[in-house]
Amino acid sequence: MNNIYLISGLGADERVFKNLKFYSNKPKVIHWIKNKKNENLKEYCLRLSDQIRNKKKLILIGVSFGGIVAIELSKILKTEKVVIISSIKLASEKPIMYNLAKKLRILNFIPSKIFNLHSFIIDFLFDVNSSEEQKLIREFIKNNEPEFIKWSLNEILKWGNKEIPSNLIHIHGEKDKLFPLKKIHNPIPIKDGGHFMILNKHDEISSILNKYNII
């Protein structure tokens, strides 16, 4: 059995993994914690790593922002494999608009409470395909502190990683709107997969994880 730890997307929880087939493996979940004032992502991940008790043959599976966190954790801990889904592994894979937002410091002018609102724009970006998925995203947004969401978005904009972990497996949707495929270097593509494909393309993703002897 593999020692698997799951890291959900920004502000989400383990429910995003509910459709994956883990067979006899019993993955553990890394839960988001509140960020400290002026804390950077590296410092945050160091505190987050305290949740990983068993560090032998460690496999990290991260979705979206959780994928970025998984890569940062792999710099702190020895990992067997790192799997990122609907995420990025290099700063160069961020869309140009993200770099522009960073340069203009746009997030500094946006009130935190804005990030607690749900809109059709979020449904569009996450490629929500059903009322169940829409309900889940609404719950994620409602249950999270706007300050944490704003901090996380800012850390994504600032993230400057230039090195790909040698044990990385990158699964990415061909129709991801938040991290477009054209910017992604050498991923395992999922046909018609959007940013929320962890829920609606679970069979394809499970098959890939099984192929690499992860689940």
pLDDT band at 88 (very low <50, low <70, confident <90, very high): very high
Residue 116 has pLDDT above 90, yes or no: no
Which tens digit of pLDDT belongs to each residue from 146-185? 888 889 999 999 999 999 999 999 999 999 999 999 999 9
pTM above 0.85, yes or no: yes
User: 82: Cβ–Cβ under 8 A, 6 or more apart, which residues?
Assistant: 59, 60, 62, 70, 71, 74, 165, 167, 168, 169
Residue 83 has what DSSP assignment?
E
What tokens were used for 188?
């395992």
Which tens digit of pLDDT belongs to each residue from 27-38? 999 999 999 999
Give the CA angle between residues 157, 160, 165 to the nearest 5°. Answer: 125
Question: E-assigned strands of the chain?
Answer: 3-7, 28-29, 58-63, 81-85, 168-173, 188-190
Residue 120 has pLDDT above 70, yes or no: no
Q: What is the pLDDT of residue 197?
A: 94
CB of 84 closer than 8 Å to CB of 71: yes
Q: Which of 134, 175, 172, 178 is nearest to 156 (CA)?
A: 178
Matching CATH number, 3-211, of 3.60.150.10, 3.40.50.1820, 3.90.1150.110, 3.40.50.20: 3.40.50.1820
pLDDT band at 128 (very low <50, low <70, confident <90, very high): low
